[in-house]
Amino acid sequence: MLKAIYPGTFDPVTMGHWDIIQRAEKLVDHLVVAVLHNPSKHPAFSVAERVDFLRELVSPYDNVEVTTFHGLLVDFARLQGTSSIIRGVRAFSDFEYEFQMAIMNRKLAPDLETIFLMPKEEYSVLSSKIVRDVGMMGGDITGFVPDVLKDRIARRLKNPESYA
């Protein structure tokens, strides 16, 4: 059985992330979407919110689970019993950062493989940061985040206290 981890900050999940999840889910038997729990990064959305959003999206898929991790990704991968990591690469500008991470992870755990997937071209300039910036200033985030989450994410970005 091929199990893979798709790790990230997902602050918040974007259409680009969702595109990668749907591609990865077809390639592996079991996909673990792993949200990094790192309070020192000062994310806009709590880890519970980020997990909730992702769980709502993946609920139709029996082979996708959402969880959190902290510490090193290689340790989490070992704990999960897999050596396959999925990462999305949007544009050439992502390459240096992704290359560094993949090589560092391989140094830490030589059996680890990073599998890079490309989202649709229309998401190549989309990022969580852009969603946060546009949303916080009251801009329309339609098409940037999955439709079913759009209102909640927009409301929450405009008013940081609004998440129930």
- C-beta closer to ligand PNS: residue 5 or 28: 5
Binding part of the chain for ligand PNS, among 46-54, 97-105, 113-121, 149-157 by CB under 6 A, reads 97-105
> Are 84 and 4 in contact, with CB atoms under 8 Å apart?
yes
Task: Report in angstroms how near the CB of residue 93 gets to ligand PNS at its nearest.
Answer: 13
Q: Kindly state whether residue 12 participates in binding ligand PNS, applying the rule CB under 6 A.
A: no
Tell me the two tokens of residue 48. 């519970």
Handedness of CA 40, 45, 48, 52 (dihedral sign): negative
Task: Report in angstroms how near the CB of residue 12 gets to ligand PNS at its nearest.
Answer: 11
- Choice from 105, 132, 156, 157 touching ligand PNS (CB under 6 A): 105
The order of strands in the sheet holding 64-69 is 64-69, 30-36, 3-8, 84-88, 113-117
DSSP H helical segments within 40-91, as ranges? 47-58, 73-80
**What gap in Å lies between CA 49 and CA 34, rounded to an integer?**
13
Q: Kindly state whether residue 104 participates in binding ligand PNS, applying the rule CB under 6 A.
A: yes
Task: Report in angstroms how near the CB of residue 89 gets to ligand PNS at its nearest.
Answer: 11
Of 26, 40, 41, 42, the catalytic one is 41
- C-beta closer to ligand PNS: residue 73 or 126: 73
150 is catalytic: no
Closest CA to 74 of 94, 101, 47: 101
User: Hey, which residues are catalytic here?
Assistant: 17, 41, 90, 128
Query: Residue numbers of the site for ligand PNS (CB under 6 A)?
Result: 7-9, 36, 72-73, 101, 104-105
